[in-house]
């Protein structure tokens, strides 16, 4: 049974309401309340409070397999630059990654499935807080997501600018890179800029270290071991004629293989530890571990491929294309439970703005495609 136009129109209204009231990670109080209220109105069993603002709603229809469908709810600390009627009313906060659309599509799928019940088994609808670098997925797992709501598999999607509207990209194995952040402190000896021989210059040491770190992907790893090392912040020095005693570097590295991830971390640590011998400064590093590689389980990825191909046609489904070097905390759920993560294209007649862009807005034309895909996946897997 096709999803009714009236439900799609309602989902668009929900999406725009979420867009107008964006909330940062672990602060999704109003979003969580509204999501729980809607799910209860559909007749689902609603459980709130996992990871603070997370919501899990259960739809049962007899014995059978149990699967989970996940959407993220949080916004970003970005000031929106658009003129839409539903523009963010929270200064400096906006839905720049489409989580408003993800939530609306999953809500509409829940409403449709609760009405039609063309499946046998159980679906857990998981609305996750704090995806944006705050580890909401990990926290939900740690607080018992899969022990309280056992699942045979869990699935998630993300809207993807740069892909045609409604098309799907899915693969077996790595879909998104790991993410780790670090802060390196180089401590030397301050002196007058006219007499550098009397000090130990952490600025020159920082320049050498930055270039050395860039050789890790190009010279220490195979070209097949995709890795990106980025220094994103440099701070040090106050006076124009004084060499400082300290420079701080901050950055990230990303990999598509968790074993390579450990090797890269070890290499960075060895480069920092060698600074007294290389540059006559002391080096220390602090780590801020992020997300592991988002790794699809082969069987579950193949199921998504089959459902999407049956729904859209083979030409509209990309299989085993290039992974993204961006990261996604759904990886933490995939480490704890079989499942798959896929992208769904959002470009209509005009290209969508990039994710995390102040001018981005979720394309409402994607909503019926996302709802149809979620519905088809449930009806196929729980046939």
CB atoms inside a 10 Å sphere around CB 163: 19
What angle separates helix 99-116 from helix 367-381, to the nearest 10 degrees? 50
| Helices of type H across 183-245 | 202-215
What is the rounded end-to-end Cα distance, in angstroms, of the chain?
Answer: 14
CB-based contact 131:301 (threshold 8 Å): no
Label the pairing between strands 227-235 and 168-170: unpaired
Give the largest CA-CA distance in the chain: 81
The residue written with tokens 């124009």 in the block is 240
On whether 132 is known to bind a ligand per the annotation, the reply is yes
Q: How far apart are CA 307 and CA 382, in angstroms?
A: 12
On whether 356 is known to bind a ligand per the annotation, the reply is yes
Token pair listed for 104: 């609306």
Q: How many residues does the chain have?
A: 383
User: What residues contact 142, with CB distance under 8 A and at least 6 apart?
Assistant: none
On whether 124 is known to bind a ligand per the annotation, the reply is no
Alpha-carbon dihedral 329, 332, 334, 337, rounded to 10 degrees: -140
Token pair listed for 260: 């390579």
Token pair listed for 119: 């499946």
> Which residues participate in the annotated binding site?
97, 99, 132, 158, 356
> Which residues participate in the annotated binding site for Mn(2+)?
97, 99, 132, 158, 356
């Amino acid at each position: 049974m096709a999803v009714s136009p009236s439900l799609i129109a309602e989902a668009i209204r929900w999406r725009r309401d979420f867009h107008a009231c964006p909330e940062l990670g672990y602060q999704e109080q109003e979003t969580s309340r509204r999501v729980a209220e809607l799910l209860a109105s559909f007749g689902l069993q609603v459980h709130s409070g996992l990871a603070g603002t997370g919501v899990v709603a259960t739809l049962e229809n007899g014995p059978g397999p149990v699967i989970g469908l996940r959407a993220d709810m949080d916004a970003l600390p970005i000031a929106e630059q658009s003129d839409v009627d539903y523009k963010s009313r929270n200064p400096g906060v906006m839905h720049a990654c489409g989580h408003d659309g993800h939530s609306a599509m999953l809500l509409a799928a829940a409403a449709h499935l609760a009405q039609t019940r063309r499946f046998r088994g159980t679906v857990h609808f998981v609305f996750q807080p704090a995806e944006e670098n705050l580890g909401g997925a990990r926290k939900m797992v740690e607080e018992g997501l899969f022990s309280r709501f056992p699942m045979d598999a869990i699935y998630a999607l993300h809207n993807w600018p740069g892909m045609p509207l409604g098309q799907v990209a899915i693969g077996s194995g790595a879909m998104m890179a790991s993410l780790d952040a670090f802060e390196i402190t180089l401590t030397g000896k301050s002196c007058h800029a006219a007499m550098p021989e009397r000090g130990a210059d952490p600025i020159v040491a920082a320049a050498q270290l930055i270039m050395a770190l860039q050789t890790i992907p190009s010279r220490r790893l195979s070209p097949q071991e995709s890795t990106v090392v980025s220094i994103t912040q440099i701070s040090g020095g106050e006076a124009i004629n004084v060499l400082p005693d300290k420079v701080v570097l901050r950055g990230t590295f990303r990999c598509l293989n968790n074993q390579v991830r450990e090797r890269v971390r070890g290499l960075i640590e060895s480069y920092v530890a060698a600074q007294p011998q290389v540059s006559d400064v002391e080096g220390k590093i602090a780590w801020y571990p992020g997300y592991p590689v988002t790794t699809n389980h082969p069987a579950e990825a193949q199921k998504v491929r089959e459902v999407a191909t049956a729904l859209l046609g083979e030409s509209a489904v990309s299989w085993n294309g290039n992974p993204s070097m961006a990261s996604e905390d759904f990886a933490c759920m995939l480490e704890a439970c079989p499942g798959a993560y896929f992208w769904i294209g959002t470009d209509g007649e005009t290209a969508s703005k990039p994710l995390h862009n102040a001018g981005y807005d979720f394309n409402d034309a994607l909503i019926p495609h996302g709802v149809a895909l979620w519905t088809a996946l449930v009806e196929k897997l729980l046939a």
